[in-house]
Chain A
């Protein structure tokens, strides 16, 4: 016999779909099938069942091989490493639940760590821009129910957020959007004709790295002022057309992604995209939203927000919270040799940081907490596998529009495996012992 768990939340991307159905064996140990998920989400659920999964902590030996250790030893090693370090980096926090993030924040406080999450290589520049200019935004349901102008700037949901378009942005029929796709004008700005662009009414193939100019040109066009013949490789007639399309809508939404946050200009690209949104509110209703990547990167920014007041790059090493992106951000700290230990949970910097930063992690005392074997585990001294959040343990996660949803447990973790929260709670207790508090 099998049973079906409904309303399951997908712990992959910031779209945080909550309508998955998962078929599990009667004893709750095996996950058999996944419905409604995208290809990536389904793979995430199914991979948790891999037979070759690592289920016990391991420590790197002198000869480079792994030796299995107990969770007790892993807790002790981690606590000692953090307690002995002057300025450890505690990085990741995006593929885990808010409960674990909260315990992690307490550890960071106790050891004087720098706390940074994956926003640092994702939407960190957006967070900086929001601190400059604010952000008029909305929930995804507002988009579904009201939006008739949808602009994707430097993002490719067809690949990165596969169900975004069908659940929220292009195809759904909402309260005031009964015609679904046909009632919406879709605009894509991307240097490549992406699979998302193929669904658009208008694709602006901007020259890579010229987003700021093109966004600025839109502001000029809104006001009916003169433009040069080409901006960012786009002919001016096209820019006026897009400006008019946006202004004539009842509700415009701009989604933006790594194309603008990681290109040269960085936070300034987002600044001006938000300024475009502000401008549009003079003519109609408009909102803008970052396409957050990890399913709970948003949550870690929220937890640190209410505990420390900053969404990422929080330096606790002086005993109080400091925030200075460019100084207290992971890649800058690593490249400048300013941290003396690295703790990673819920992220894979080994694969996703520039190699010069990865090499620094390899050179330092380091621990990674991750269900998977990854390039990060390859460069760390201790690897602690844990239960999959959202599959083997529930907990709170925040969608890209900051809506909190409680993820569900659908199957048991392999016997004897700890969760992120359990492991961190043990580390916190041990750190307190070591620090004598």
Chain B
């Protein structure tokens, strides 16, 4: 394979602790190597430019059934933005729910090389894998959802951790999944009857278990197996004013549990899109509780979070939180798709317009940024928009701008129709912190890679890591306007993925060699769980057990992470 030497760039790398020093980065045989290991490299002149590892997105909805519902039921999302193919690029379309092809290219243009699909309904795993297969360049994995799964509910009712773990191992293998995802634990099962679980002690109809038992049990099962990633959580009561207490209650369920993983992560719970879970107040008079949330996060090092920043765009919300989407369509009266999945989960999709003229939306915008600015350890707080829920992923560079520039934030405040009321309900206006590029690299590269248990592959520029490197037209040592940040990080000059140059001078140069990551956890033989699985398929599923497992050809280029949990 080709050798590359990226010379003289300003390097930001939390793994090596380089904070903008001029340095060279060498790539050979798909990996980062010492510069001395190169023989006749192609030299990329990065003088005056910023160099980072490829970005890692820990949470985005980019592939699978509900994403495709969003695409197919929103032709308006493609109005005036479908583009022709040229060179090796195929046709593309869509803004908040882009086609898979645009998804791959747009992430690459931002310098991202790894993106995790945040919620895979197990019964629809094939669909998710087919879409990931058709997403160029990116390494991807998908999180099957567990928080409303009947097996899990029945095992955890009696706190049967070993059985839960055996089932998780089986399902990860059957679906070729990456991690344990939990969405509105118990609430989505309740939605099967049009109901919900509004706090961690609200019992699940019929199953006689509380969300708290589900959350704690899944953390324990996750650590029993020692999976690369921790349990990945979307708590109950998303989006409701006053919900921060539920969020804190959910956080507290991780207390006293220590990580058991050989993959270098330090957390036992990753809580996603925390912006949606940090609301105080009541009704439309809601307010930011970001400080209370971040006080907890900053003082408890066994949890990580991602932001879920509102970007003030028209977008498409989609989540396995079925009751929430119903609530949303009642609120905005836009079209509503719902897809409940037998024995496993549910989901909903509703378009949403976040407007600078809407006080509530402006407060949401503040909360997302407050969480980022209050973070004491950017290695545990990651930049996301819960794409496309709080905004499309192509706004990440805009969020970087807001996090890095008080001037940019002030400009946005001035554009709010209800500026004074927004300032009153939030804390952002009083914050003068401006994140550095090093901190941004922590939040978008090293941090998420570590939390995913993938710091041996991604997130940094240390020799031995994958050759994922982005070069941006940005000189941090010269004066710049806030908008220059967004412009530069939206359009990487060069990008290398596993040692292949996929972007050359801002143009897509290769479709890369995308991989699908999944976790093969081997647990002890568990005849009871296997019997339960057979029984449920025989009696309640509408596909047979033998037609459930996703087989090889859905993953054209799999990368299996082996976990041995036999004991």
Chain A residues in contact with chain B, CB under 8 A? 6-7, 9, 18-19, 98, 102, 106, 109, 127, 130-142, 144-146, 167-168, 174-176, 250-251, 278, 281, 284-285, 287, 301-303, 305-311, 316, 318-323, 396, 398, 402-406
Query: Which of A141, A175, A281 makes the CB contact (< 8 A) with B326?
Result: A281
Q: Of B35-43, B339-347, B428-436, B515-523, which stretch is located at the interface?
A: B339-347
A144 to B540, CA, bound (A): 8
Whether A306 pairs with B341 at a CB distance below 8 angstroms is no
Sorted from nearest, which 5 A-B pairs have the closest CB atoms? A141-B342, A134-B335, A319-B84, A285-B194, A138-B340
- Given the interface pairs A6-B546, A307-B134, A309-B77, the reply to whether A301 lies near B72 with Cβ below 8 Å is yes
Query: Which of B68, B98, B326, B340 makes the CB contact (< 8 A) with A302?
Result: B68
B94 to chain A: which residues have CB within 8 Å? Answer: 309
Quick check: is B71 within 8 A (CB to CB) of the other chain? Answer: yes
**Known A131-B74, A138-B341; 15 more pairs at CB < 8 Å:** A18-B544, A106-B90, A130-B337, A133-B336, A137-B337, A137-B338, A138-B339, A138-B346, A285-B193, A306-B99, A307-B91, A309-B72, A309-B98, A403-B543, A405-B126
Quick check: is B155 within 8 A (CB to CB) of the other chain? Answer: no
Give the shortest distance, in Å, between A257 (CB) and chain B (any CB).
19
- Given the interface pairs A7-B544, A284-B194, A396-B130, the reply to whether A142 lies near B342 with Cβ below 8 Å is yes
Contacting residues of chain B (46-68) with chain A, CB-CB under 8 angstroms: 63, 65, 67-68
Give the shortest distance, in Å, between A176 (CB) and chain B (any CB).
8
Query: Which of A132, A144, A287, A316 makes the CB contact (< 8 A) with B340?
Result: A287
- Given the interface pairs A144-B542, A305-B68, the reply to whether A135 lies near B82 with Cβ below 8 Å is no
Whether A109 pairs with B350 at a CB distance below 8 angstroms is no
Give the shortest distance, in Å, between B326 (CB) and chain A (any CB).
7
Give the shortest distance, in Å, between A23 (CB) and chain B (any CB).
17
A284 to B193, CA, bound (A): 7
B65 to chain A: which residues have CB within 8 Å? Answer: 402
Give the shortest distance, in Å, between A79 (CB) and chain B (any CB).
18
B72 to chain A: which residues have CB within 8 Å? Answer: 127, 130-131, 301-302, 305, 309-311
A310 to chain B: which residues have CB within 8 Å? Answer: 72, 75, 78
Smallest Cβ-Cβ distance to A397: which chain B residue: B126
Query: Which of A9, A135, A167 makes the CB contact (< 8 A) with B547?
Result: A9
Give the shortest distance, in Å, between B173 (CB) and chain A (any CB).
16
Q: Which size bracket describes the interface of B in this complex?
A: 35 or more
A141 to B84, CA, bound (A): 40
Whether B82 pairs with A321 at a CB distance below 8 angstroms is yes
A404 to chain B: which residues have CB within 8 Å? Answer: 124, 126-127, 130
A305 to chain B: which residues have CB within 8 Å? Answer: 68, 71-72
Smallest Cβ-Cβ distance to B340: which chain A residue: A138
Quick check: is B439 within 8 A (CB to CB) of the other chain? Answer: no
- Given the interface pairs A142-B192, A251-B193, A403-B124, the reply to whether A308 lies near B337 with Cβ below 8 Å is no
Give the shortest distance, in Å, between A111 (CB) and chain B (any CB).
12
Mark B71-107 against chain A: 1 for CB-CB distance below 8 A, else 0: 1111101100011110000110110011111000000
- Given the interface pairs A18-B544, A132-B335, A139-B340, the reply to whether A98 lies near B130 with Cβ below 8 Å is yes
Q: List 16 A-B contacts (CB under 8 A).
A: A134-B73, A137-B339, A137-B340, A139-B340, A141-B341, A176-B206, A281-B194, A302-B127, A307-B90, A307-B99, A320-B93, A321-B78, A322-B82, A402-B124, A404-B130, A405-B543
Quick check: is B223 within 8 A (CB to CB) of the other chain? Answer: no
B131 to chain A: which residues have CB within 8 Å? Answer: 306
Whether B540 pairs with A402 at a CB distance below 8 angstroms is no
Smallest Cβ-Cβ distance to B206: which chain A residue: A176
A405 to chain B: which residues have CB within 8 Å? Answer: 126, 543, 547
- Given the interface pairs A144-B542, A307-B101, A403-B543, the reply to whether A135 lies near B73 with Cβ below 8 Å is yes
> Most B CB atoms within 10 A — which of A136, A250, A301?
A136
A316 to chain B: which residues have CB within 8 Å? Answer: 91
Give the shortest distance, in Å, between A199 (CB) and chain B (any CB).
20
Query: Which of A285, A308, A318 makes the CB contact (< 8 A) with B192?
Result: A285
Whether A139 pairs with B339 at a CB distance below 8 angstroms is yes
> Most A CB atoms within 10 A — which of B67, B68, B150?
B68
A250 to chain B: which residues have CB within 8 Å? Answer: 193
A281 to chain B: which residues have CB within 8 Å? Answer: 194, 326
Give the shortest distance, in Å, between B257 (CB) and chain A (any CB).
32
B547 to chain A: which residues have CB within 8 Å? Answer: 7, 9, 18, 405-406
A140 to B541, CA, bound (A): 9
Query: Which of A135, A139, A146 makes the CB contact (< 8 A) with B542?
Result: A139
A146 to B75, CA, bound (A): 33
A287 to B346, CA, bound (A): 12
> Most B CB atoms within 10 A — which of A130, A133, A139, A175?
A139
Whether B100 pairs with A319 at a CB distance below 8 angstroms is no
Give the shortest distance, in Å, between B53 (CB) and chain A (any CB).
28
- Given the interface pairs A109-B90, A405-B547, the reply to whether A319 lies near B85 with Cβ below 8 Å is yes
Smallest Cβ-Cβ distance to A18: which chain B residue: B547
